[in-house]
């Protein structure tokens, strides 16, 4: 994280940082508006937009019917006309209902119109497991959108990052799927009150280390940092790299870290098959970092199952701190 001055070291939650980014951008730019189900009177499914209706009114805090396809279609049309919609999907799972509008329209229009039209829109998508909401409300679908040309994918892990990246995403001229992990909403951290941006496609080394690199994003970053702290007591120095945005991807930071440590463990919540980890592994294998590897690239990801309702099974379906500790310990010892 960049150096913060004393007057910037106030702490707010991840959820509050999301709201602050939205409010400040809406005050700055009258073309920015929020659209979605229950975003007005109710204040959003997770309370992100609470109080915003009173300040901005129903024209800019747009309540919609229960139709993600309609929300995405309206947002795409508004973006084509020069506005900057922020579309809230109540749960990331429901983004599947809007796939035609997002994948076949929003992602393609800039290219199909020869660059004469842009779609500056953000799709805010509360994602991930850990809330006991079961198979239809706990998915992480980032890999689907990484495969779609024209859509950017962002997955912040801290309150500081979520504010700066959301502001940058709103100002971007392309559709951005913006993942907000539900378990991160209550986490706290230092966030400057003034507006700032974090460039999309710029990773951050969250912890320096020499023995292996853990590449993680979203909820897996705090889990990786906790695992690194435990492993430090065993004399294993883990470097934690957070890509922050998955597309565009900061390949240089990842390659530089793996070249330094000689080992790479990729950790994510979404299922292992066809997941982000496979793409990251290919990036490493196809780079100069391959020549520095002292052990095979390893992936630790969600199991290939729908997220169970049962809390014990839910926990077993995705990597936890103890799983990262065990996988990193084994990798650190491999080939020695």
Catalytic residue among 110, 137, 181, 268: 137
String of DSSP letters for 28-72: H-TTEEEEETT-SSS--TTSTTTTHHHHH-TTTEEE--S-HHHHH
Q: Are 167 and 24 in contact (CB under 8 A)?
A: yes
Q: Which tokens in the block code for residue 66? A: 């229960």
Where helices occur in the chain by DSSP H, the ranges are 14-28, 52-56, 68-80, 99, 109-112, 142-146, 159-171, 220-232, 251-261, 276-285, 311-317, 321-333
Q: What's the sign of the alpha-carbon dihedral 90, 93, 97, 99?
A: positive
Cα 38 off chain centre by: 22
- 137 as an active site residue: the answer is yes
Distances in Å between the Cα of 142 and the Cα atoms of 58, 75, 110 are 31, 20, 21
Measure the CA–CA gap between 321 and 336, rounded to whole angstroms.
24
Q: Are 257 and 222 in contact (CB under 8 A)?
A: no
Q: What is the dihedral of CA 308, 153, 201, 32, to 10 degrees?
A: -130
Question: Residues with catalytic annotation?
Answer: 137
């Amino acid at each position: 994280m960049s150096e913060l001055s004393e007057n910037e070291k106030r702490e707010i939650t991840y959820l509050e940082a999301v709201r602050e980014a939205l409010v400040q951008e809406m005050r700055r730019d009258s073309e920015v508006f929020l659209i979605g189900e229950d975003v007005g009177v109710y204040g959003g499914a997770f309370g992100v937009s609470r109080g915003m209706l009173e300040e901005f009114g129903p024209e800019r805090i747009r309540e919609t019917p229960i139709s993600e396809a309609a929300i995405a279609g309206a947002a795409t049309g508004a973006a084509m006309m020069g506005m900057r919609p922020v579309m809230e999907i109540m749960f990331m799972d429901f983004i599947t209902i809007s796939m035609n509008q997002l994948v076949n329209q929003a992602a393609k229009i800039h290219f199909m119109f020869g660059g004469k039209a842009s779609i500056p829109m953000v799709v805010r998508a509360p994602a991930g497991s850990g809330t006991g909401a079961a198979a239809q409300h706990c998915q992480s679908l980032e890999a689907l959108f990484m495969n779609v040309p024209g859509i950017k994918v962002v997955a912040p892990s801290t309150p500081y990052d979520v504010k700066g990246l959301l502001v940058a995403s709103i100002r971007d001229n392309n559709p951005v799927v913006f993942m907000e992990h539900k378990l991160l909403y209550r986490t706290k951290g230092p966030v400057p009150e003034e507006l700032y941006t974090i460039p999309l496609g710029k990773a951050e080394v969250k912890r320096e280390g020499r023995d292996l690199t853990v590449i993680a994003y979203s909820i897996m970053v705090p889990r990786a940092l906790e695992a690194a702290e435990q492993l430090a007591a065993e004399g294993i120095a883990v470097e934690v790299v957070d890509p922050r945005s998955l597309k565009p991807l900061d390949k240089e930071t990842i390659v530089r870290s793996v070249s330094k440590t000689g080992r790479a463990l990729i950790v994510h919540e979404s299922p292992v098959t066809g997941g982000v980890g496979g793409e990251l592994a290919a990036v490493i294998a196809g780079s100069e970092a391959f020549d520095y590897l002292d052990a095979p690239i390893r992936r630790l990801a969600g199991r290939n199952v729908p997220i169970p309702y049962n809390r014990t099974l839910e926990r077993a379906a995705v990597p936890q701190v103890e799983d990262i500790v065990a996988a990193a310990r084994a990798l650190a010892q491999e080939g020695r």
